[in-house]
Structure 1
Amino acid sequence: MKHVLATALTSALLAQPALANDQGAEQPKTEEEGFSLMEEGARLFFRGIMQEMEPALEDLQDLTEEMEPALRQFAQEMGPALRDLMGKVDDITMYHPPELLPNGDIILRRKQPLPPETDPLPEKEDGQIDL
């Protein structure tokens, strides 16, 4: 929304020099007059958009002010857990979307399974297997 408002404001400000021309004096109709009419039309168009968008932008600002404390709390509580998860997940594109199991567990399946380890139970130096 802010990008639309910024674009509209920029366009309106760029159209202002066209209004500075002496409009009281008769000028011959040229290509320049066509451009100034287009600039005036663009200025009026963007003014109308700004007037139409103003209530929606005010509502959006009110909503963001209401949500800000909850979002800050969420970031403080979940930030470390998400950072840990991203440390364990190499590349998120290597995984299918999360699945919710009937018991409530959430699993992430790899798209390409890892190759099986050749030696799943390493032996110690004294010949014993560490379970």
Structure 2
Amino acid sequence: MKALLAPVVLCLCLTPVWAQQVEPAPKADEGFSLMEEGAKLLFRGLMDEMEPALDDMAKAMAEAEPVMREMLRLMGDIRNYHAPEMQPNGDILIRRKTPAELAMPDGPEIEL
């Protein structure tokens, strides 16, 4: 029993010394690189989630392009129209300017 007591006491005495070792503090550069890596992972995750929606939107825009081009051709110059107005029932009206309104200047020139 006495032969076993000495090694146990020695182990118990050395344990607190081993537990009190302090790890070196990380360098300031490492903190920034960890933040950069975290931001990269965040943005990669967002792009992975958004990629299917962006692909669908690109397909929808490709399908809508001919219709939009035709509408722009029919409209002509956007300055020929008043600003959109919302009616009480929810309709949106975009009135075409009359020839007299088109001949009038828009207002005094703004100096920059």
TM-score, normalised relative to structure 2: 0.49
The structure with more helix, counted as a fraction of residues:
2
